[in-house]
């Protein structure tokens, strides 16, 4: 490789000069000895592509080395090089140029992209000649081609056959020896005989087919192909991965016309996994909760969907290791006898997302769990032993309307169940828990197969070094008079300090608890409750001050049931020896569960499975969450915070009604328990994770935006019209269009459309407007900043040192990445920008290896917290204001306000779901929260927009944003008047909103709160999820349908309609009509509401003229917090 005179930063990859044709007939004769093997199924005929000694010797003689030169005509560039070594010991790097000629690859992988867009990858050892961008001669080795449609006709020629592309992705493998393997991953190829062939032939292969072909055109079926779903690292030979579970798959379909293959993917099962080799369908979680955890990361087989038509098919699966084999079977099809006799049905389900095919040409696949699910499959399972060959039957005759079953496997796990408390010191709270070893064993009864836990022997060696039933560290500490911390270790190492980014400093220690001890238990008593630790069986019981059990951990077999509910336990996965916990606790029959982050599902999570895993929710109509928080509170008088950043799943009585299970992906189970009513629980939780500081006053005004303002003229026009129409507004937000290329975030105003950004921002500030700018921490390869950040090593990488995602994702655990990113944002803040929109951040690579030294398993959920903190701290430093506009979050993000509810659909259903999500998030300590009035995805329908705007007005913050138009004058004049009145009502209430916000933030309370937050003893208040309280004194009931009235529940006490002055007695339901602003708002009787005359911006409000308005009878008092830190009290 030498520096190129054409491309200074690159080099020319110049193959060695072509030698004489050394194809030898005697080599073919040597391979004839393998003919008999090739006629048998693939599991018996594992044909190896190994370099023959004679061929290697010839190559050594003919190839003097990999020449260094800058000569030759470039045909493409190197796009990937994985430990590649050429015959002359040279290497290649990304960006090097490729010229026509011969290549000898001794080892590694080498990928090039020709100028016509063909991507061609060679895996060594290999010998090939690059003739042009349309022809490569592969003499030996393995190659993969990805050909765009405009390069149809691209050809790979081997000593046996020409493989002619018809717009596809395919693989070819040969070894100078009369046979070539061809695998089609997508599309079509034609196999055509060489000109020298005595018997000319031509055959077409389509997606899902693989053939072994000789130069006479004889074709043999290849039963299995190992490797990645897209065709990388594939092999038709013995599987090199020694950790594989499924090593061979074959069937009884021996027709010469059938050359479909099974693709075995080691550790490849996850969301959007390709389901079949012959159809582009995908496996996904049947709901937004995602795929069943036992299947994630397991081996699976892409089966042949068209074989569902056969009623006589038999599939054989060879198992290499002790494991569990799973069958996914279409719920539309009655389970056949072979399935019922060999496998046990589980409660787990998986969805199939179908792409377009001739039976349903309008279908399309989507991304993520619970989206676009067309069919649901039940998971069946059975344990298997190493060496087993499982025989599976057909779908049954006449299954045209059904889908072929899936085959999955994963190594079995060892279960360790809490048994007893040992060596415990009540004074220090430190000791050990003995964990008994179990495995799942099949149990047959009355024609059904179950897999209960059974005691298991130790299998480690040497036995002197490992305990069958280990005793591992356990610790209890008391954080306050209402908060207890419990920590369990799944390894013998000592428990560390237990600090993290999620905590707002080290939790304090409380001395308010006393301890009592007897032979059966240790009991700690505090002012508000007690914690009892039973020695054997080990059990933790949380009690209130009266001694009533709030909740307790479950021991194995509790309660007695044939359903075998989970116990407090952890498992050790045999695949990677990782540990994860199951915290099983009791639930009462009428207990409600609330919180868990910004969850769009029903407000009461009882009976739900909630996955705490940050992901772009893609709207407000699924269980996915932008802001999952592993915290919840119970109507029974307690709360729980699972202190972890790993994916965590809460099963709130879904699988077993009386048991709540937290499945925690961490190797340390760290749990905080809180005792009290909702206010007290949230106050305790935020005391350890932090509370929201007060955002600047201007942020409480209206934020006007759309997708997207793209020019200075457009921004100035919107500002002018807002003032002309006398609509109060404080912020104008520019979304994805302020760069030269829409969405290409380079932190520069487009010079072609913004003449003077600094002056524009200054002029807007003079008129009472702040500017907010959109950006994100992901960079596509077309972004000019991509190369800069990549060269500096600022992106998340995987264990192989390459990008684990399509885009470059800034690694915010890397101080250098933080410094680089801050420098980009600082330039914007220096221009006078008021706030940065902290968009995305939900999908940091799970398979990434971060600068922190941890993988995405620990860093993905932390990414929003790091992201929020970084931008918030920078804005505080530069502007002396604590403000961001963020979509993603994790526990602790409430310290960096504020957040909004994401990309909701333009429907009343999404409006209701957004409200539920906001209340759920608020219970997790997020005082401030907003949402896009009218929904985001499309143009907001007029009436929906009006009703949603009213709800947004009565939130902590108000933004109009989404698909255009959002400006009221783009509708009609009547709408402009209604819009103005609605926003004026907000500005009049700003003294109340800011005062309630300051009071709420001091205790961690939300501004938007469910009714039960203020009325915890009123049972009906726990059931209402479409009303809320704004602060403590205003009850808000949005209109969630095309009507100007609705049923409203009024909690105990008197209530007065804020708009009409009508008085109502509480403690029941009433049909109430909205006022002039389309929403029902009532003030608590006796409340004192501070108000002020509306102005065009918060800066124009006359704060010396705040008035205190009493609603109803005297009795309440009020204090008002003013912008300058002063206040007005009741009576002034």
Local structure of 523: helix, strand or coil: strand
80 is annotated as an active-site residue: no
Q: What's the half-sphere exposure (Cβ side, CA atoms, 13 Å) at 1126? A: 6
Q: What's the half-sphere exposure (Cβ side, CA atoms, 13 Å) at 321? A: 17
The set of residues, in sequence order, having a beta carbon less than 8 Å from that of 1126 and lying 6+ positions away, is: none
Phi, psi of 764 (to 5 degrees): -65, -40
Local structure of 35: helix, strand or coil: helix
Angle, CA 650 vertex, CA 646 and CA 654 arms, to 5°? 150
Residues 361, 364, 365, 367, Cα dihedral to 10°:
180
Local structure of 53: helix, strand or coil: helix
Map 887-933 to HEC letters.
CCCCCCHHHCCCEECCCCCCCHHHHHHHHHHHHHHHCCCCCCEECEC
For residues 1082 and 1049, is the Cβ–Cβ distance under 8 A?
A: no
Q: At what angle do helices 973-988 and 990-1003 cross, to 10 degrees?
A: 50
Q: Count Cβ atoms below 10 Å from residue 796 Cβ, excluding itself.
A: 26
Alpha carbon distance 793, 814 (integer Å): 9
Q: Tokens for 757? A: 């950004």
Q: How far is CA 610 from CA 213, 523, 632, 856, 865, in A?
A: 51, 32, 11, 20, 20
Residue with structure tokens 């200075």?
Answer: 712
Q: Tokens for 744? A: 């290409």
For residues 188 and 206, is the Cβ–Cβ distance under 8 A?
A: yes
What is the C-alpha R_g of the chain? Answer: 33
839 is annotated as an active-site residue: yes
Strands 569-573 and 899-900: unpaired
**What is the DSSP code (8-state) at residue 403?**
-
Q: Tokens for 353? A: 């997302």
- Going 368 to 369 to 370 to 373, the CA torsion angle's sign is positive
Beta bridge partners of 1036: 1028, 1081
Residue tagged active-site, from 181, 330, 432, 839: 839
For residues 619 and 903, is the Cβ–Cβ distance under 8 A?
A: yes
Residue tagged active-site, from 410, 903, 967, 1014: 903
Residues 1059, 1062, 1065, 1067, Cα dihedral to 10°:
-30
Angle, CA 881 vertex, CA 880 and CA 886 arms, to 5°? 140
SS3 breakdown of the chain: % helix, strand, coil, rounded to 5? 20, 35, 50
Local structure of 861: helix, strand or coil: coil
Alpha carbon distance 481, 500 (integer Å): 23
Residue tagged active-site, from 157, 842, 984, 1014: 842
Beta bridge partners of 1109: 1089
- Going 338 to 342 to 344 to 349, the CA torsion angle's sign is negative
- Which string of b and e fits 149-180 if b means at least 16 CB within 10 Å? eebeebbbbbbbbbbbbbbbbbbbbbbbbbbb
Q: Count Cβ atoms below 10 Å from residue 428 Cβ, excluding itself.
A: 10
**What is the DSSP code (8-state) at residue 201?**
-
Alpha carbon distance 365, 170 (integer Å): 22
1014 is annotated as an active-site residue: no
Q: How far is CA 838 from CA 689, 738, 873, 915, in A?
A: 21, 15, 13, 21
Local structure of 106: helix, strand or coil: strand
Query: What residues act catalytically?
Result: 839, 842, 903
């Amino acid at each position: 490789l030498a520096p190129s005179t054409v491309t200074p930063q690159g080099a020319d990859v110049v193959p060695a000069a072509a030698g004489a044709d050394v194809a030898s007939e005697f080599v073919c004769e040597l391979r004839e000895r393998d003919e008999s093997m090739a006629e048998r199924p693939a599991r018996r005929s594992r044909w190896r592509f190994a370099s023959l000694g004679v061929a290697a010797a010839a190559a050594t003689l003919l190839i003097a080395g990999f020449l260094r030169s800058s000569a030759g005509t470039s045909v493409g560039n190197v796009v990937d090089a994985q430990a590649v070594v050429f015959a002359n010991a040279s290497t290649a790097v990304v960006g090097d140029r490729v010229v026509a000629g011969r290549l000898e690859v001794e080892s590694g992988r080498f990928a090039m992209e020709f100028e016509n867009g063909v991507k061609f990858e060679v895996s060594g050892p290999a010998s090939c000649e690059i003739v042009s961008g349309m022809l490569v001669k592969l003499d030996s080795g393995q190659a993969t081609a990805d050909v765009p449609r405009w390069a149809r006709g691209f050809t790979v020629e081997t000593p046996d056959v020409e493989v002619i592309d018809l717009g596809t992705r395919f693989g070819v493998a040969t070894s100078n020896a009369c046979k070539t393997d061809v695998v089609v991953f997508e599309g079509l190829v034609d196999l055509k005989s060489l000109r020298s062939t005595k018997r000319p032939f031509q055959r077409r292969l389509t997606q899902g087919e693989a053939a072994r072909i000789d130069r006479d055109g004889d074709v043999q079926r290849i039963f299995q192909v190992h490797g990645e779903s897209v065709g990388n690292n594939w092999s038709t030979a013995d599987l090199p991965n020694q950790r594989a579970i499924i090593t061979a798959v074959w069937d009884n379909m021996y027709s010469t016309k059938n050359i479909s293959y099974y693709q075995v993917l080691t550790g490849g099962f996850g969301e959007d996994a390709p389901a079949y080799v012959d159809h582009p369908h995908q496996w996904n979680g049947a709901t937004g909760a995602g795929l069943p955890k036992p299947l994630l990361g397991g081996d699976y087989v892409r089966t042949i969907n068209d074989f569902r038509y056969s009623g006589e098919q038999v599939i054989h699966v060879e198992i290499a290791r002790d494991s569990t084999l799973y069958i996914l079977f279409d719920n539309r099809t009655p389970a056949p006898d072979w399935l019922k006799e060999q496998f046990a049905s589980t409660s787990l389900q998986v969805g199939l997302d179908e792409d377009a095919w001739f039976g349903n040409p309008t279908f399309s696949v989507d991304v993520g769990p619970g989206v676009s699910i067309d069919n649901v499959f039940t998971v069946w399972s059975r344990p298997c032993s190493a060496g087993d060959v499982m025989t599976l039957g057909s779908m049954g005759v006449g299954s045209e309307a059904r889908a072929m079953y899936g085959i999955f496997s994963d190594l079995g796990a060892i279960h360790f169940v809490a048994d007893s408390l040992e060596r415990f010191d009540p004074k220090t709270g430190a000791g050990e828990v003995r964990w008994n070893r179990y495995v799942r064993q099949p149990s047959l009864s009355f024609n059904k197969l179950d897999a209960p836990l059974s005691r298991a022997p130790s299998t480690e060696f040497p036995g002197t070094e490992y305990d069958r039933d280990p005793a591992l560290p356990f610790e209890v500490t008391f954080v306050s008079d209402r908060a207890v911390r419990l920590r369990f270790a799944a390894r013998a190492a000592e428990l560390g300090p237990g600090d993290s980014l999620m905590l707002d400093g080290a939790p304090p220690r409380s001395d308010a608890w006393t301890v009592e001890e007897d032979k059966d238990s240790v009991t700690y008593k505090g002012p508000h409750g007690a914690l009892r630790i039973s020695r054997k069986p080990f059990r933790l019981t949380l009690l209130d001050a009266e001694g009533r059990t709030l909740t307790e951990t479950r021991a194995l077999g509790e309660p007695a049931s044939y359903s075998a509910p989970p116990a407090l336990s952890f498992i050790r996965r045999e695949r990677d020896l990782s540990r994860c916990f199951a915290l099983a606790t009791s639930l009462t029959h009428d207990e409600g569960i609330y919180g868990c982050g910004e969850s769009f599902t029903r407000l009461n999570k009882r009976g739900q499975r909630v996955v705490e895993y940050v992901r772009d929710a893609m709207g407000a109509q699924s269980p996915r969450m932008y802001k999952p928080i592993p915290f919840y509170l119970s109507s029974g008088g307690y709360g729980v915070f699972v202190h972890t950043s790993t994916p965590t799943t809460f099963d709130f009585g879904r699988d077993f009604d009386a048991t709540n299970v937290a499945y925690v992906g961490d190797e340390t189970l760290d749990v905080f328990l809180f005792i009290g009513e909702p206010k007290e629980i949230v106050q305790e939780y935020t005391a350890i994770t932090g509370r929201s500081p007060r955002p600047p006053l201007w942020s409480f005004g209206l934020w006007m935006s759309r997708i997207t303002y793209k020019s200075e003229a457009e921004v100035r026009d919107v500002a002018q019209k807002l003032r002309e129409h006398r609509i109060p507004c404080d912020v104008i937000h520019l979304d994805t269009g302020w760069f030269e290329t829409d969405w290409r975030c380079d932190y520069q105003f487009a010079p072609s459309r913004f003449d003077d950004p600094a002056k524009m921002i200054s002029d807007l500030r003079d008129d009472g407007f702040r500017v907010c700018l959109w950006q994100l921490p992901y960079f596509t390869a077309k972004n000019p900043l991509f190369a800069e950040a990549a060269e500096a090593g600022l992106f998340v990488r995987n264990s192989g040192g390459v990008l684990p995602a399509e885009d470059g994702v800034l690694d915010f655990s890397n101080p250098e990445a933080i410094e680089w990113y801050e420098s980009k944002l600082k330039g914007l803040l220096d221009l006078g920008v008021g706030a940065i929109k902290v968009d995305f951040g939900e999908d940091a690579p799970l398979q990434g290896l971060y600068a922190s030294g941890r993988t995405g398993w620990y860093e993905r959920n932390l990414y929003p917290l790091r992201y929020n903190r970084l931008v918030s701290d920078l804005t505080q430093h530069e502007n002396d204001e604590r403000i961001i506009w963020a979509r993603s979050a994790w526990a602790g993000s409430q310290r960096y306000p504020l957040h909004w509810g994401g990309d909701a659909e333009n429907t009343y259903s999404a409006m209701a779901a957004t409200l539920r999500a906001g209340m759920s998030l608020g219970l997790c300590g997020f005082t401030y929260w907003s949402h896009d009035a009218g929904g985001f995805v499309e143009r907001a329908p007029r009436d929906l927009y009006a009703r949603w705007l009213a709800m947004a007005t009565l939130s902590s913050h108000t933004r109009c944003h989404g698909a255009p138009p959002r400006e009221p004058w783009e509708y009609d004049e009547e709408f402009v008047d209604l819009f103005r009145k609605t926003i004026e009502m907000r500005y009049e209430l700003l003294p109340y909103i800011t005062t309630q916000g300051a009071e709420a933030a001091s205790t961690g309370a939300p501004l938007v709160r469910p009714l039960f937050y203020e009325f915890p003893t009123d049972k009906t208040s726990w059931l209402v999820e479409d009303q809320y309280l704004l602060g403590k004194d205003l009850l808000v009931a949005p209109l969630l349908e095309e009507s100007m009235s609705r049923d409203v529940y009024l909690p105990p006490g008197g209530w007065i309609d804020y708009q009409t002055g009508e008085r109502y007695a509480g403690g029941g339901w009433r049909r109430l009509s909205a006022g002039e602003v389309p929403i029902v708002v009532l003030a608590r009787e006796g409340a004192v509401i501070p108000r002020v005359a509306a102005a065009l911006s918060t800066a124009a409000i006359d704060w010396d003229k705040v008035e205190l308005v009493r609603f109803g009878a005297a009795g309440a008092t009020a204090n008002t917090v003013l912008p300058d830190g002063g206040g007005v009290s009741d009576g002034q």
